Amino acid sequence: MNQDAIGVFDSGMGGLTAVKVLNEIMPNENIIYFGDTARIPYGTRSRQTIQRYTKEDIAFLRRHPVKMIIAACGTVSSMLGADSPVDDMPFTGVVYPAARAACQATQNGRIGIIGTPATVSSGSYETAIHNIDPSKDVTAMACPLFVHLVEYGYTDRNNPITRLAAEEYLAPIRSAEVDTLILGCTHYPIIADTIADIMGDGVQLISASEEAAKYAKQCLEEQDLLTDSTQHGHNVYYVSDSVSMFRENARHFLMDAVNGQVFSSRI
């Protein structure tokens, strides 16, 4: 058993969708979250810049007592691929857990992926899926506006701007007749209702952040690192920009007020 916290980082606030699930499935665990809100988005940056930011984010979390690190960012996870940047504690991104879930869920063998431009151009999800099952047919589409729409609160199911963007982005995915769609950016679950409406009832949505949280629990169980505390865990949030803006926008991701202390901190 281990009483240290689970460390989670993201380029901004999308990783809070993973925190929400972690709180639900491991309510006694403590969580330390770092959101690099001053440098969002990562998805339009160069590979070298994303790699540098990732090292800095991990180094920040390692300054705190953590027993596992989750890269709750589709872009970072895609740049890392199957490589782990730490070797002394469990680590996961969101790509492999989501790819595994999609391969298990699909019935017709056709899987769609939506993500940031960096995620889609990396081909990471396709690689992970084909490593699991080479027979799967994969269609990927970059959706660069989704992160900005979510960050600015355009999240209502019937918001005309978000729906128009989704209809255009998802058209090639629908044409491919997929029955499973990976939401390959941790922002996207916030507009899952809109995406589901456009994709139709026959398509199952796979949340990369939810699958990463489930996989993290599995890793901690296998290595006997779950806390044995019977007390409810607590969350601590660090952001590289405005605390007040984080608190205001975090409601979209947590579906509630921020449930913990928030600090502004430089990397």
Query: Does residue 227 sit in the same domain as residue 204?
Result: no
Is residue 103 annotated as part of the catalytic site, yes or no?
no
Return the H-helix or E-strand segment holding 43.
Answer: none
Query: Does residue 104 sit in the same domain as residue 205?
Result: yes
pLDDT at 1: 77
- Separation CA 71–CA 77 (nearest Å): 6
Query: Does residue 58 sit in the same domain as residue 10?
Result: yes
Pull the structure tokens for residue 99.
């790819």
Specify whether the CB–CB gap between 68 and 91 falls below 8 A. yes
Pull the structure tokens for residue 155.
């999240």
Residue of 73, 103, 143, 219 marked active site: 73
Query: Does residue 182 sit in the same domain as residue 217?
Result: no
pLDDT at 240: 96
Query: Does residue 154 sit in the same domain as residue 29?
Result: no
pLDDT at 136: 98
Report the SS3 class of residue 175. helix
Query: Does residue 189 sit in the same domain as residue 232?
Result: no
> Which residue is listed with tokens 């209502």?
156
pLDDT at 266: 81
pLDDT at 210: 96
- Separation CA 202–CA 26 (nearest Å): 31
Pull the structure tokens for residue 86.
């730490």
Residue of 103, 143, 185, 219 marked active site: 185
pLDDT at 188: 95
Query: Does residue 105 sit in the same domain as residue 196?
Result: yes
Domain boundary among 170, 186, 209: 209
Query: Does residue 139 sit in the same domain as residue 87?
Result: no
pLDDT at 40: 84
Domain boundary among 184, 209, 234: 209
Alpha helices, DSSP H only, in the chain? 16-25, 47-62, 74-80, 95-105, 117-122, 124-132, 144-151, 160-175, 192-199, 208-222, 243-254
Query: Does residue 217 sit in the same domain as residue 89?
Result: yes
pLDDT at 267: 78
DSSP-derived secondary structure letter, 125: H
Domain boundary among 165, 191, 209: 209
Query: Does residue 156 sit in the same domain as residue 196?
Result: yes
Query: Does residue 99 sit in the same domain as residue 205?
Result: yes
Query: Does residue 231 sit in the same domain as residue 204?
Result: no
CATH of residue 251:
3.40.50.1860
Domain extent, residue 42, equals 5-93+210-264
Is residue 73 annotated as part of the catalytic site, yes or no?
yes
- The one-digit pLDDT tens for each residue of the chain (267 residues) are 789 999 999 998 899 999 999 999 999 999 999 999 999 888 888 989 999 999 999 999 999 999 999 999 998 999 898 889 999 999 999 999 999 999 999 999 999 999 999 899 999 999 999 999 999 999 999 999 998 898 888 999 999 999 999 999 999 999 999 999 999 999 999 999 999 999 999 999 999 999 999 999 999 999 999 999 999 999 999 999 999 989 988 988 888 889 889 999 887
Count of the separate structural domains present in the chain: 2
pLDDT at 44: 82
Report the SS3 class of residue 15. coil
